[in-house]
Amino acid sequence: MRIGITYDLQQDYLAKGFSEEAAAEFDRPDTIEAIEGTLQELGYDTDRIGNIQDLTARLAAGDRWDLVFNIAEGIHGFGREAQVPALLDAYGIPYTFSDPLVLSLTLHKGMTKHVIRDLGIPTPDFCVVEEISEVDRVDLPFPLFAKPVGEGTGKGISAASRIANRESLALVCRRLLKTFEQPVLIETFLPGREFTVGITGTGRHATAIGVIEVLLQEDAEPGSYSYTNKKEFEKLVKYSLVEDLPAEKAKEVALAAWRGLGCRDGGRIDLRADAAGTPHFLEVNPLAGLNPNISDLPILCTLAGMTYRELIAKIMESALARTASLKPPEKIRLYSSPIPA
């Protein structure tokens, strides 16, 4: 089986003048090497494709694959993670992970929380500030928490993200609006424990791998799993596998969110507990980082006793199980059949 691999390399965007933070979500060469090497160990024939421009050129040249292992983050807009899947859909080529609808929805944290709230899943009260004049209309009790509505890897999150008064809210919103050129998500700050739940599978077949608690060390930036804390996690963060009652509740909330949003194959969901200890949905990463040494999902798997090879195998098993039942539409079958004499 021929498996293409789509991805965005961090070094390519740094060479184009992107800042280190702007390129933080893109992948390192050792991530691609790990994925490709593992797929080959599992018996697949691999073909490195690259980013959406590379994919477009290859498709135009007539190249095709049985399935594409897609981790391309894309650039520009809330649909950037959906660009490669949408193109593959147009060519009828199956791929790992979620479809364009899910990837566009979940990149916008505000829209995601609207759906989560409608599903009855606990999530902090929130609003979205699109311009600075809207700050005065924010009607949520302090303390609050602010972050860009469409970023990952902790981008835009710092100690200043926890906000105690309206003056600070205006300062933080102004900075985030200017820096990231996108709306700001404002949430009620939850003071409890912070969890990450790893998930593999799709729909009713989805299962939780395990739950880790994110524990900030003494020298960490206080208050949140920030960009700096993520970047320097080896010395600033401790990940602890937890199996207590709150962790079991976190699994329930995470699986309800994963299934309700329609996420596929593998990823992770971040949660934080309120003052009563109830885990609340914060955000979902349906296109989680897969570096075996520095990405949260593989770190979680290691702590839970799952090898990197087993993780990649489960992702592929889920994707192949989904696509094995796909059949071409009736019209395509009709026109591809011989015309009766």
Residue 142: name the closest of 114, 165, 112 by CA. Answer: 165
Residue range of the domain that includes 246:
194-324
pLDDT of residue 325: 55
> 200 and 174: one domain?
no
The residue length of the chain stands at: 341
pLDDT tens readout for residues 223-241 = 778 878 778 888 888 999 9
> 257 and 172: one domain?
no
> 204 and 320: one domain?
yes
> 183 and 211: one domain?
no
Task: Please determine, for residue 327, whether its predicted confidence score (pLDDT) is greater than 60.
Answer: no
pLDDT tens readout for residues 18-67 = 888 788 888 899 999 999 999 999 999 999 999 999 999 999 999 999 99
Q: Which neighbouring-strand residues pair with 212?
A: 196, 241
| CATH at residue 275 | 3.30.470.20
Does a structural domain hold residue 54? yes
Average pLDDT for 114-137: 97
- Judge whether 28 and 292 are in contact, CB under 8 Å: no
> 199 and 173: one domain?
no
> 219 and 300: one domain?
yes
pLDDT of residue 190: 96
- Judge whether 229 and 155 are in contact, CB under 8 Å: no
> 7 and 57: one domain?
yes
Residue 5: name the closest of 59, 82, 65, 63 by CA. Answer: 65
> 143 and 228: one domain?
no
- Number of domains making up the chain: 3
Q: How confident is the model at residue 335 (pLDDT cuts 50, 70, 90)?
A: very low
Which has the higher per-residue pLDDT, 331 or 108?
108
Residue 304: name the closest of 213, 211, 239 by CA. Answer: 211
Average pLDDT for 321-340: 47
Does a structural domain hold residue 15? yes
> 174 and 78: one domain?
no
Q: To the nearest whole percent, how much of the chain has pLDDT over 90?
A: 79
Across all residues in the chain, what is the average pLDDT? 91
- Judge whether 172 and 180 are in contact, CB under 8 Å: no
Q: To the nearest whole percent, how much of the chain has pLDDT over 70?
A: 95
Sign of CA dihedral 30, 32, 77, 137: negative
Residue 32: name the closest of 71, 78, 60 by CA. Answer: 71
pLDDT of residue 328: 39
Does a structural domain hold residue 80? yes
Strands 2-6 and 67-70: parallel
Amino acid at 9: L
Average pLDDT for 78-90: 96
Does a structural domain hold residue 330? no
Average pLDDT for 118-130: 97
Examine the fold and report which residue of 154, 188, 222 is the final residue of a domain before the chain moves on. Answer: 188
pLDDT tens readout for residues 167-192 = 999 999 999 999 999 999 999 999 99
| CATH at residue 60 | 3.40.50.20
Task: Please determine, for residue 332, whether its predicted confidence score (pLDDT) is greater than 70.
Answer: no
Task: Please determine, for residue 330, whether its predicted confidence score (pLDDT) is greater than 50.
Answer: no
> 179 and 205: one domain?
no
Does a structural domain hold residue 334? no
pLDDT tens readout for residues 129-142 = 999 999 999 999 99
Examine the fold and report which residue of 188, 212, 243 is the final residue of a domain before the chain moves on. Answer: 188
pTM: 0.90
pLDDT of residue 232: 85
> 173 and 285: one domain?
no
Q: How confident is the model at residue 88 (pLDDT cuts 50, 70, 90)?
A: very high
- Judge whether 253 and 280 are in contact, CB under 8 Å: yes
| CATH at residue 153 | 3.30.1490.20
Helix (H) or strand (E) holding 279, with range, is strand 279-285
Q: How confident is the model at residue 263 (pLDDT cuts 50, 70, 90)?
A: very high
Residue with tokens 């135009």, as numbered in its chain: 60
Does a structural domain hold residue 267? yes
Strands 45-50 and 2-6: parallel
The whole-angstrom distance between residue 44's C-alpha and the CA centroid of its chain comes to: 25
Does a structural domain hold residue 22? yes
Does a structural domain hold residue 217? yes
Examine the fold and report which residue of 78, 95, 112 is the final residue of a domain before the chain moves on. Answer: 95
> Who's near 13: CB < 8 A, 6+ residues apart?
22, 23, 26, 75
> 205 and 315: one domain?
yes
pLDDT of residue 193: 95
Angle at 294 between CA 289 and CA 295, to 5 degrees: 25
